[in-house]
Amino acid sequence: MMPIMRNVILLLTLLLIIFADNTSGSEFYKWVDEEGVVHFSDRVPEATETPRNIMQQNEVDNNITHSSNINSVISQLKNPIKTCVDATFSIKGDQNLGTGFFISSNGYAITCKHVLESDQHYMAVLNDGSRYPIGIISINDKYDLALIMVIIYKKTPYLSIRDPFSMTPGEKVFAIGSSLGLQTIITDGVFTGVRENTSTKDNVIQFSAPINPGNSGGPLVDEQGKLIGVISWKIVSQNGVPIAGLGFAVPSDYMVKEYGHYLE
């Protein structure tokens, strides 16, 4: 091929790439077919694919120009629990250990009140190992909740909320926390139901995901990574007989009731 012709072809190819990169209004679709398979595509699903739960995201080209970014976005869509892990941190004091999670991008977070009862100074240990001091803003004795501020000088990932009363028994849930001092342990189980706590007459969420000391204050989330409760306690035995799979969490609507104006 002559050099001039080759240069013309290269120039035309370059112009096409530039034009494609600067086109606005690209669309991205996620849908689930009748067999439960999740699809990601830049085209509208055809009727023969019997799509349901179509989710359209407009102008994604502003955020995912390169294939590596596209893969990152798709990965997050496929695994929302990873985002929950990034929004969760360990709470370490001189004597106590627990878990907290962010509810806004500017450091506001939630944990259980009983996590903060033994020590005077606490540190938040994030998923990347970085440490930041914690300030206590509000303690709620009624619901065993606490609003805290992680003194961090960058934007933080945070959890979005789901009404626990929209859950149905058998839905999968994930408990995230610093189980036995290990960072961001994830266990899974199912949502059993919303029960009445006979001692307080308030509602609690019952779930089957295994939890251990250090999980208190951590998030209980659904499969989409939506917060449904704050892990609080479990029953370990009755009359000397060990019991497993009886964990309880403070419903997320109580958290919204008390600290909703801090949510983002």
Q: What is the pLDDT of residues 130-189, one digit of tens each?
A: 999 999 999 999 999 999 999 999 999 999 999 999 999 999 999 999 887 777 899 999
Measured distance CA(23)–CA(65) in Å, rounded: 11
Q: Which of the 8 DSSP states describes residue 142? A: T
Query: What does pLDDT average to over the chain?
Result: 78
The residues that are catalytic are 114, 144, 216
What predicted TM-score, i.e. pTM, was given to this entire model? 0.70
Token output for 118: 């033994």
- Looking at residue 61, what is its pLDDT? 40
pLDDT the model gives residue 168: 96
Count of C-beta atoms within a 10 Å radius of residue 202: 14
Q: Both tokens of residue 161? A: 């909320």
Whether the Cβ atoms of residue 42 and residue 26 lie closer than 8 Å to each other: yes
Helix (H, G, I), strand (E, B) or coil at 50: coil
Counting as low any pLDDT under 70, the low residues of the chain are 1-78, 119, 235-245
CB 37 within 8 A of CB 78: no
Please give the order of strands across the beta sheet that includes 27-32: 38-41, 27-32, 52-58
Q: CA torsion 114→120→126→127, rounded to 10°? A: -50
Cα(7)–Cα(55) distance, integer angstroms: 42
Q: Are strands 247-251 and 203-207 parallel, antiparallel or unpaired?
A: antiparallel
Instruction: Return the number of other C-beta atoms located less than 10 Å from residue 87's C-beta.
Output: 25
Segment 172-188, tens digit of pLDDT: 999 999 887 777 899 99
Q: Could you tell me the sign of the dihedral formed by the alpha carbons of 58, 155, 103, 111, in that order?
A: positive
The number of beta carbons lying within 10 Å of the beta carbon of residue 238 is: 9
Residues in the chain: 264
Biggest distance spanned by C-alpha atoms of the chain: 90
Q: Is 15 exposed, middle or buried (0-12, 13-18, 19+ CB in 10 A)?
A: exposed
Tokens 């496929």, residue located: 78
